[in-house]
């Protein structure tokens, strides 16, 4: 009985290790999603309202009295 339990446990460990990690297609989809997110983020950050807010924030930070 103990031997069967040990064999069952090792088979679970082996299956978990055999299926760990991503396949090539998952890497491709993840890379495309990351690039799309970066493009959207770039468009948002470089938009006029966000640039104005960032410039205002930096100006206020640099003009702060210590």
> What is the structure's pLDDT at 64?
83
Q: Residue with structure tokens 């104005």?
A: 52
The DSSP 8-state label assigned to residue 46 in this structure reads: T
Burial 38-56 (b: 16+ CB within 10 A, else e): eeeeeeeeeeeeeeeeeee
The whole-number pLDDT of residue 24 equals 84
What's the pLDDT score for residue 22? 66
Residue-wise pLDDT for 3-44, tens only, equals 777 777 777 766 666 555 667 888 899 999 999 999 999 999
Question: What pLDDT, on a 0 to 100 scale, did the predictor assign at position 6?
Answer: 72
């Amino acid at each position: 009985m103990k031997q069967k339990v040990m064999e069952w446990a090792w088979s679970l460990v082996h299956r978990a290790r055999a299926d760990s990690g991503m396949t090539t297609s998952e890497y491709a989809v993840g890379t495309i999603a990351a690039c799309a997110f970066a493009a959207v983020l770039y468009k948002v950050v470089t938009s006029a309202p966000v640039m104005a807010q960032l410039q205002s924030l930096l100006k206020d930070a640099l003009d702060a009295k210590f």
